[in-house]
Amino acid sequence: MKRQTNLLDALNRDDIVIGRVVDFAPAHDLLYPLDFTNANKELTSDILEDTDLFTNWVENKLQLNACRYGIGGYNEHRSIYARSAHFDTDEEPRRLHLGVDIWGPAGTPVYNFHDAVVHSFKFNNNFGDYGGTIILKYVLGDVVIHALYGHLSVACLDGLEEGMYIPSGQQFATFGAKEENGFWPPHLHFQLIFNMQALKGDYPGVCQYSKRDIYLNNCPDPAPILKHTFSSALV
């Protein structure tokens, strides 16, 4: 918990400026909270098993509620991962989500919220996986933190090198289409990670519920970063 307290302290410093992650105008844009737990009875197995139907369901939710993006998912126990064997293990399936998802159209620009360097990147090309993935490393005061950006277009990986400097405010990625984002409706998986545990280009975005405390301690809530994008609209 000390690391999370130190992160919040760093984010409150006047000399650390946090920028946007996606385009958003709080004066007129809205967010729609999406629930992917068992409480959501609208998401039948027929919808979840067909990426196009799943995408249409998300798009309809946003259109009907006049929202620019859907959002949610941190520390959410999600039933939707039953759609992919990627989240199954012998002892216990992985169902607890460790990041925040921002749901919107393929091609949506993604921006760097603070000066960073490329930690690693990879095309995680499994059904239900991240697809295009970029992990950036940040130094915020005395805190070193990583941000994993998943479900990106594969073209975003072109020209990247580990250690490459990405300045604050630069667009460096876009939301990927289903064929390159792990066959999900287009969205950004945004996850903070203290210790990468020697992994490169990948880190679990979903964990077993029995390991919830371990992973949440290493993956703090991204809301303090995202509030600078969404302002009072963040739910």
Per-residue pLDDT of 9-19, as tens digits, reads 899 999 999 99
- Look at residue 90 and tell me whether its pLDDT is greater than 90: no
pLDDT recorded at residue 174: 98
What span, in angstroms and rounded, lies between the C-alpha atoms of 200 and 32?
Answer: 32
DSSP character for 64?
H
Average pLDDT score over residue span 181-203:
97
> Which domain does 157 fall in, by range?
2-233
Q: How many domains does the chain have?
A: 1
Average pLDDT score over residue span 184-188:
96
What span, in angstroms and rounded, lies between the C-alpha atoms of 76 and 39?
Answer: 11
| Cα 131 versus chain centre, distance | 12
Q: Which two tokens stand for residue 146?
A: 């990583």
Nearest to 185 by CA among 67, 21, 34, 51: 51
Per-residue model confidence as pLDDT tens digits over 197-235: 999 999 999 998 899 999 999 999 999 999 999 985 654
- Look at residue 2 and tell me whether its pLDDT is greater than 90: no
pLDDT recorded at residue 212: 92
Taking CA 136 as the corner, what is the angle to CA 190 and CA 3, rounded to the nearest 5 degrees? 75
User: How many Å is the Cα radius of gyration of the chain?
Assistant: 17
Which of 38 and 179 is assigned the larger pLDDT? 179
Q: What is the CATH number of the domain that holds 128?
A: 2.70.70.10
Average pLDDT score over residue span 126-144:
95
